[in-house]
Amino acid sequence: MLFVIFQFNASSQRNSLPDVSESWVIAGDDSSRILRIDSTLLISDKTAEITKYTRSKFTCVLPLGENKALIGTNGDYLWFYNKGHLEKLDKENGIYDSCIISVSYSRGKKKIYVETDKNGFASTNPGYRNFACFTSVYDENPVQDSILKKFRRGNLIRILTNPIRNLSQVLLPYFADKATEDNSYRKLKQNDLNAIANNIEPCDVILERKNGLATNKFIPEFWTHSALYVGSLKQINSYFAGMPLLNGMNPVQYIHKHYPAVYRKLLVTKNPIIESVTKTGVTISPVKAVTEVDYFALLRTNLSREDKFLSLLRAFEFYRLPYDFKFDLTETEAVACSALVYKSLIPSQVKNGISIPLKSLLGGPMVYPGDFARKFDSEFNSEYREFQLVLFFDSSDGEDQVNLKTAEEFRASWKR
């Protein structure tokens, strides 16, 4: 009869940990009450006990064990309740948004997922401590920090070349706009375009080269541009369907909610990619924009669907940032094309990723489009290789002709 007395507007979390035989329920018109139902169906009102510490309304509950639960609030972060003891999980634990929308558990991944009003979180281990980590670009990335650390400490070359870097930021945008181009790009034929359309998947890495570009002279390797394939809204929903991270949302709904500007652009773009180009910075373009080329390659990571989705979300964080004419990976307010791909794919607290060896440019860290091909080459015979080649089109054999080439031939492409 107690279920009749209370007005329930949220049921206990369905995605509880394995072997949890109790439930927690948020109750009341204003979600101000929280109840525990144990394995004998005895109902305990935990409201007074918990509101000693937080007066925020409750939004979600995830049972973790006997008299244990994660409790989300609408303005006071997340709480771990452990047999009468409460511990707040906030910025110290990687949660940078105080309004918690939902918590859920993935049995397959053995991870707890926390969604906030602004973005998503994901666990790195099954324990409750430090399980939640922000996916936003504004959060510190300890993996990237450790890689870039050597470029930040006492780098005399970097200090001495700062004037050159600052000058390039002023002059190169003008040069990129005014430079003439030899418009001799060999367009891939319809059969080639069909092969790309039939084989490409979300989060695939695109490499391209257009002969005749004046800006090619400033790129020290053969491949001159890189991008990430995003996919149509239909393809995104199909490829990423059913992930626990989404907590019942379809992937496009998640993007619409957290990245509305990106969603609007995806809505009107055919087979979209995300790339950083000199004239507009980070933009979403149709894949056709990178197929009117002399050379085209498509690489696929061995990441899980979940890690690919989180990598695309990472890329969306850079949307509309200007192009980085300093060519410096430590830059946070601008990003070059290869840096966009690198920063999207690098491992972080919330996801696995692809490790790319860095180079030094004027004492600062940098990655080039050709470095993705170099990585493929160096790991080709390894069982741990992180890239596979999907397609490679090469125009070296003759005028107005583009041919499909093998993985062995692609391995040598970065050395040209």
What confidence tens digit (pLDDT) does each residue in 294-340 have? 999 999 999 999 999 999 999 998 999 999 888 888 888 899 999 99
| Alpha-carbon gap, residue 48 to 81, rounded angstroms | 13
How long is the chain?
416
Check pLDDT > 70 for residue 7: no
| Alpha-carbon gap, residue 11 to 33, rounded angstroms | 12
Question: Both tokens of residue 386?
Answer: 């992180």
Say what the pLDDT of residue 179 is.
55
CA distances in angstroms from 116 to 147, 216, 220, 226, 305, listed in the order given: 29, 43, 43, 32, 21
Say what the pLDDT of residue 12 is.
39
Kindly report the three-state secondary structure assignment for every residue of 180-237.
Answer: CECCCCCCCCHHHHHHHHHHCCCCCEEEEECCCEHHHHHCCCCCCEEEEECCCHHHHH
Q: Are 138 and 149 in contact (CB under 8 A)?
A: no
Greatest CA separation found in the chain?
Answer: 83
Say what the pLDDT of residue 135 is.
46
If one compares 268 and 366, the residue with the highest pLDDT of the two is 268
337 Cβ neighbours under 8 A, 6+ residues apart? 225, 226, 227, 275, 276, 277, 369
Say what the pLDDT of residue 221 is.
85
Q: Which of 14-28, 153-167, 248-262, 374-388 has the highest mean pLDDT?
A: 374-388
Say what the pLDDT of residue 3 is.
25
Order the strands of the 68-73 sheet from edge to edge. 58-65, 68-73, 78-82, 85-89
- State the amino acid at position 332 in one-letter form: T
Say what the pLDDT of residue 305 is.
94
| Alpha-carbon gap, residue 104 to 97, rounded angstroms | 17
DSSP label at residue 90: S
Q: Which of 5-19, 50-64, 214-228, 324-338 has the highest mean pLDDT?
A: 50-64
Question: Both tokens of residue 7?
Answer: 């007005």
Q: Are 347 and 304 in contact (CB under 8 A)?
A: no
Residues forming a β-bridge with 89: 78
Domains of the chain with bracketed CATH: 2-134 (2.130.10.10), 142-415 (3.90.1720.10)
Say what the pLDDT of residue 65 is.
85
| Alpha-carbon gap, residue 198 to 192, rounded angstroms | 10
* Predicted confidence (pLDDT) per residue in 194-226, tens digit: 999 999 999 999 999 988 777 777 787 899 999
| Arithmetic mean of pLDDT over the chain | 82
CA distances in angstroms from 235 to 269, 272, 377, listed in the order given: 13, 11, 30
Say what the pLDDT of residue 57 is.
94
* Predicted confidence (pLDDT) per residue in 172-187, tens digit: 665 565 555 555 567 7
Say what the pLDDT of residue 212 is.
78
Question: Both tokens of residue 358?
Answer: 């860095």
pLDDT band for position 408 (cuts 50, 70, 90): very high
CA distances in angstroms from 99 to 56, 94, 181, 319, listed in the order given: 9, 14, 51, 24
If one compares 272 and 6, the residue with the highest pLDDT of the two is 272
Say what the pLDDT of residue 122 is.
59
Q: Are 101 and 109 in contact (CB under 8 A)?
A: no
The CA angle 373-374-375, to the nearest 5 degrees, is 90
Dihedral angle of Cα 54, 57, 60, 65, to the nearest 10 degrees: 30
* Predicted confidence (pLDDT) per residue in 93-130, tens digit: 778 788 998 888 766 656 788 888 776 665 544 443 33
Helix boundaries (H) for 317-383: 337-345, 370-378
Look at residue 82 and give its three-state secondary structure.
strand
Say what the pLDDT of residue 130 is.
37
Check pLDDT > 60 for residue 80: yes
- State the amino acid at position 242 in one-letter form: G
CA distances in angstroms from 139 to 78, 125, 350, 358, listed in the order given: 18, 19, 11, 22
Cα end-to-end span (Å), the chain: 78
Q: Which of 84, 86, 107, 98 is nearest to 132 (CA)?
A: 98
Q: How distant is the alpha carbon of residue 26 from its chain centre? A: 32
Share of the chain above pLDDT 70, in %: 76
Check pLDDT > 50 for residue 2: no
- Mean pLDDT computed over 247-257: 86
